[in-house]
Structure 1
């Protein structure tokens, strides 16, 4: 009898396979649509926010020069914070001279404030012209965008007007820049995200842009975006209401903390309310191709040497904390924060290179070791190395030597759509 059981089971297998495909086909399609996997290409390590009235075509090299100057003035302080690692500081200097800003956001919201309509219209046109000039001169950041006023009733009309005025001026004299995004702040309802999708569709039609070319980030800075009135995580619904246009979720440190009633002295990226919000964001974005960004610290490294040292130490700690928690991007508000942004980021990838490369080599070669990694962990190891390549912390040669893999192989292991193409170190 026992020998007949497998035969009986196999006899229904063909029918059962067809039944399962029919039963789960819609689920398979929905999963593929809602969770397409990692977004192709490089993710910047930071976004630098600049009030629109202060933006000009030479701002990025100006930020780089200012960051290099503060590095020179306080080199001993920076070396002390990175355990005397002269090679790391040299790498930071090179980055500041070559690419000091990876992502720039021209801010028409909190950093700009409320102004007469004619003044904001003029700044929208002027900043669009300045961005186009910077792109032509080769002085722009690799990624750019604007933050306009949100879709709540008091600011909705002004926000959409600024968006329209800026975009019309920007594309009147050239194509939409690669990697250009707009940021929707203070989101409190899924319907606001749906309204932005509608707005971008209408603007694409009016401006002759191809459908789906305008993308946006959602700024998570209100408790309503994390927990809706029905108890659901609205940020997850917002991601799936974006029609594939949403590229990122950005945490807003101070608005979110203030909404939660946290006293100003205790508002921080490391506060428990921030960790809760970011954990929900992380779960909502996982597998969707939507990337995560931590927020900012408003403690600036300016003033006396002891003030610079304290602010730099705080910034280094917070950037490293974010990286360890899977937030590979954050906000910077001042040129003097750039040295520690890159110092913390480069140290994170360089310190992890040997262990990540060794584990990946062992996994690919199927060697025995003290760690038994699974495919998901191999994917994370490859992604770690690609991120290090993308920002310039690692070179292609040292990663290839350490892993025995080229960037195409790493991209395949990381389940990225294409090979590393935007980084700095081959």
Structure 2
């Protein structure tokens, strides 16, 4: 018979294992706890040479025009986007309100793929043009809640051009606007070497010293090589400057050799990449964003507009189901399908989620006899908070 051990002395039970305090400090710094913060549901990309102080207003007006011309009633909203009939009128009204008041939540002035290669003086001129537009929007109160440039990749072999554009843009806006307006971030694409991240963070550190503000950036995951150096301490190694990781569907699918017709956001290879991103960065405070649909309506005919909206809505739903609550929009038509799909997604289960949280708080089974685990309740509460922040 096994002997019963003596009671563990109080002094032993209270002893903290060697190294625990440092490990716990690292845990809290690396994986900060907290409720979801506001995150834009999309990022709108506009080539720098086409960006003006009217861009956001123009996108909103074009999207509203498309909505009124091709989706005039809640019934059409229900049919095109598969919105439950009871929600169609509410979703329709919310999309109209959003397009009229805040059509763009996050704006990126693109100096990379959407812009292309230009002679140095030409790009300098477009930087100055963008600076003037941003300053005018800031003065008018029309600058989106998030905004900034996407600069060229160091992988192109010319980091000087990337840094010059960033510095000219940031310092120019700060001078014209009397400081850097809230919501600034910069997107850093095609990171094929981990060392590029540290180099870019040091560039930001130098600008911080001049401006007296904290600067953060988004990295783009556009190649299989990038997945290899995603990990929980990545943001920590960059001085906390990594704000987000955005998936680049077309560069990624091209890099792994998929045929052109399979370069799509809902390909299983893209699911794998996004899940690696989630696994590596979960709990670190680094936001995640999905990519885009590179298509516009084939014509102004209602049939073609509806075909585009249905396909975009499928991709947005796919992202949402996989826990990606942000994506890229590349055309004004995408605003309609983005907001309609996001709002329907959040509203469809909002009441049932709230009932389950209340049942838990009241120590009773929810409707249907559901008895939730604590982790599920945390997920439900996070979903409700995310919905409250996303809905207008």
TM-score, structure 1 length as denominator? Answer: 0.85
How far does the alpha carbon of each residue in 1:365-406 deviate from its partner, in whole angstroms, 9 at most, with x for none? Answer: 1113422223322221111111111122xxxxxxxxxxxxxx
- Choose between structure 1 and 2 for higher RCO, CA contacts under 8 A separated by at least 6 residues: 2
1:195 aligns with: 199
Q: Distance in 1 between matches of 2:333 and 2:211?
A: 40
**2:237 equivalent to 1:241:** yes
3-state SS of paired residue (2:147): strand
2:304 aligns with: 307
3-state SS of paired residue (1:287): coil
Q: Aligned-pair distance for 1:176?
A: 1.6
3-state SS of paired residue (2:155): coil
Q: Distance in 2 between matches of 1:36 and 1:23?
A: 20
Structure 1 residue runs of 5 or longer lacking an equivalent are 228-232, 393-423
**2:371 equivalent to 1:372:** yes
1:112 aligns with: 115
**2:164 equivalent to 1:161:** yes
Aligned partners of 1:193 and 1:241 also within 8 Å: no
Pick the aligned partner of 1:361 from 349, 354, 358: 358
3-state SS of paired residue (2:323): coil
**2:71 equivalent to 1:75:** yes
How far does the alpha carbon of each residue in 1:47-78 deviate from its partner, in whole angstroms, 9 at most, with x for none? Answer: 00001111111211111110000011111554
Pick the aligned partner of 2:336 from 326, 335, 339: 339
Q: Distance in 1 between matches of 2:357 and 2:317?
A: 23
Q: Where in structure 2 are the equivalents of 1:10-409 lying within 5 Å?
A: 10-11=8-9, 13-20=10-17, 22-38=18-34, 41-75=37-71, 78-83=77-82, 85-152=88-155, 154-173=157-176, 174-205=178-209, 207-210=210-213, 213-227=214-228, 233-234=229-230, 236=232, 238-303=234-299, 304-369=301-366, 370-392=369-391
Higher mean displacement: 49-58 or 22-31: 22-31
Q: Cα gap change, 1:153/1:342 in structure 2, threshold over 3 Å: closer, same or farther?
A: closer
RMSD: 2.0
Q: Distance in 1 between matches of 2:236 and 2:180?
A: 25
Aligned partners of 1:216 and 1:248 also within 8 Å: yes
3-state SS of paired residue (1:9): coil
Higher mean displacement: 151-160 or 70-79: 70-79
In the TM superposition, structure 1's runs of 4+ consecutive aligned residues that sit over 6 Å from their partners are 1-4
Q: Cα gap change, 1:322/1:375 in structure 2, threshold over 3 Å: closer, same or farther?
A: same
Q: Distance in 2 between matches of 1:226 and 1:237?
A: 14
3-state SS of paired residue (1:219): strand
TM-score, structure 2 length as denominator? Answer: 0.92
Structure 2 residue runs of 5 or longer lacking an equivalent are none
Aligned partners of 1:35 and 1:288 also within 8 Å: yes
